[in-house]
Amino acid sequence: MVSTDKPSGLPGLKAALEVRDFHKCGALYNTLLDDSEQPPIADKHIANLAEIFVRNDAEKVFGIHLIHGHFKIPQGTVILGTNFKDPSLRWARVTSIDKVDPLRVHGHIFALTKDGLCAYELQDGPLPDLSGVRPQFLDSFINYLVKNDLTSVIGLQVLGCSNCSMSELILDQGTVMLDSSCVKNPVLSRITGWKFEEVGGIPRACKPKELHLKNVDGAHQVYRRGEPIPKLENIDDLKAALSEAGVIYLLEDWIWLFLLFQHFLAFVNC
């Protein structure tokens, strides 16, 4: 039986996470299905949730996310995301709980469990500012999920990585969300995240917020089976590895393409 109690003091959203919350987060992640095993979400539910979010002034703080996981994580760890720029991306890594500062993280994606909303992915940064969100929003959202049997399919996501469309790929024991415009030859698997807005007084879903990509061979992983997996110590290692794997354009690539285009124009004008 799913709890629908009012989520006052909700860990990771309205209050700092404690050690026991981190362990719940990691344990919950290990129960999640892969996105390919989740059913499609009907358009009517997206439209109805858009109305709930906009009516409660929640659309600038929250979105919804297809509940899914990609691998099992060791006991005593959580998935923790950090945002970076140039290009815009979110790198979510398996992180030991004892290395996480509870005052410097918040919940990123929440699923409704028998104990109420529980985060299964975390994010660097302070708790979100909920001052502009109407107090009844979380109750309305939870009630809709319960009424429509969506508690195992739709999660609540705290926005904040980027306003642009993002594409998700799987690393070794981690994931990366990239600005879709920087991804080479994207092949869409399915939409995994939605953000809402109001246009002309009508609530609606924006252009897909998050897309799950796959390689041409059908796999979601950046590195195909049998390929050596590089050691990723920092963000520079990650960007270099993604570029080498043919996943993203780096600034150096754009410079090279610009120079090539300039050379082409000069040749044409000769």
pLDDT in tens, 182-200: 776 666 668 889 999 999 9
Return d(Cα 176, Cα 124) in angstroms, integer: 15
8-state DSSP, 164: S
- Region 78-84: mean pLDDT is 94
**Predicted pLDDT at 254:** 44
Return d(Cα 169, Cα 177) in angstroms, integer: 7
In order of 45, 60, 65, 107, 141, the CA distances from 48 in angstroms are 5, 17, 15, 24, 10
Residues 79, 118 contacting (CB under 8 angstroms): no
Q: What percent of the chain has pLDDT over 70?
A: 74
Band the pLDDT of 160: cuts 50, 70, 90.
confident
**Predicted pLDDT at 255:** 38
Band the pLDDT of 65: cuts 50, 70, 90.
very high
Is residue 216 scored above 90 in pLDDT?
no
Residue 209 CB burial class (10 angstroms; 0-12, 13-18, ≥19): buried
Mean residue pLDDT across the chain? 82
**Predicted pLDDT at 83:** 92
Contacts of 193 (CB under 8 A, 6+ apart): 63, 64, 65, 66, 157, 166, 208, 209, 210
Is residue 11 scored above 80 in pLDDT?
yes
Domain ranges of the chain: 19-268
pLDDT in tens, 92-114: 999 999 999 999 999 999 999 99
Is residue 10 scored above 80 in pLDDT?
yes
pLDDT in tens, 218-249: 334 444 444 545 567 778 888 877 777 677 66
Is this prediction's pTM over 0.75? yes
Is residue 53 scored above 80 in pLDDT?
yes
